[in-house]
Amino acid sequence: MQTKIALLAAMLVLLSGTVLWAQSHDDPSRLAAMLEPMLEKCDWKVRNLTGGPKGVMLLHQAKMRRILGELKAGQLVDSKEIHEIMKEHSS
């Protein structure tokens, strides 16, 4: 009986630690601060590219602006979209 209680307590501690880590890890202000320099670099690329690559970069820029606006407004943003933006930006 005592081992069940100890096991339950340990699981609750791990779960609460995981939840707290996830909340601090996906802090909207931190994510917005990470995206702003990426958006500035994207703006520079849009100004200097021509043709098809510029069109692709314009779409990427619009998506970044939308996500950044949602983060700054305190709205929830799907983490998949953020990871997708960062993946697109790194390429």
Residues 8/16, Cβ–Cβ less than 8 Å: no
| Average predicted confidence (pLDDT) for the chain | 80
Contacts of 36 (CB under 8 A, 6+ apart): 68
- What six digits make up the tokens of 9? 């307590």
Global model pTM greater than 0.75: no
pLDDT digits (tens, 9 = 90+) for 41-75: 999 999 999 999 999 999 999 999 999 999 999 88
Q: Give the separation between CA 37 and CA 67, rounded to whole angstroms.
A: 14
Q: What is the identity of the amino acid at 19?
A: V
- Which of residues 15 and 28 earns the better pLDDT score? 28
